[in-house]
Amino acid sequence: MRTTGPLRFSMTSINPAHRSATVVLRVQDAAGHAATASLPITIDNIAPAATITRAPKNGTTLTRVTEVAGTAADRNGVAKVQKFTVQLRAYDSAGDTRTSAARTYRR
């Protein structure tokens, strides 16, 4: 069975406002026998929204355990909400700095 040969491919541009499309592949052999296969695709060129809903104000000095909460949303659904990393940076009066090791938390 021969699986190689000339391949022609063309694609019309897709309006990015549309949320889905179907890619259709049609093959035909030298004898004229043809077959098609299709694959639906989702077009998503807009990043999900991530919002902190509960946290101390920016610049607040923390003196106790603090809760941070948030939400995520996307028109095609949120697949996951990933980790966040906390790092401390200390400054002395001479302007020298040192950064702590990063700690990573997951939800």
- The full set of domain ranges for the chain reads 17-107
Contact 97, 90 (CB under 8 A): yes
- Per-residue tens of pLDDT for the chain, all 107 residues: 455 666 666 666 666 666 777 888 888 888 989 999 888 887 777 788 988 888 888 888 878 878 778 888 988 888 887 767 778 888 888 888 888 887 877 76
Contact 41, 24 (CB under 8 A): no
* Predicted structure pTM score: 0.48
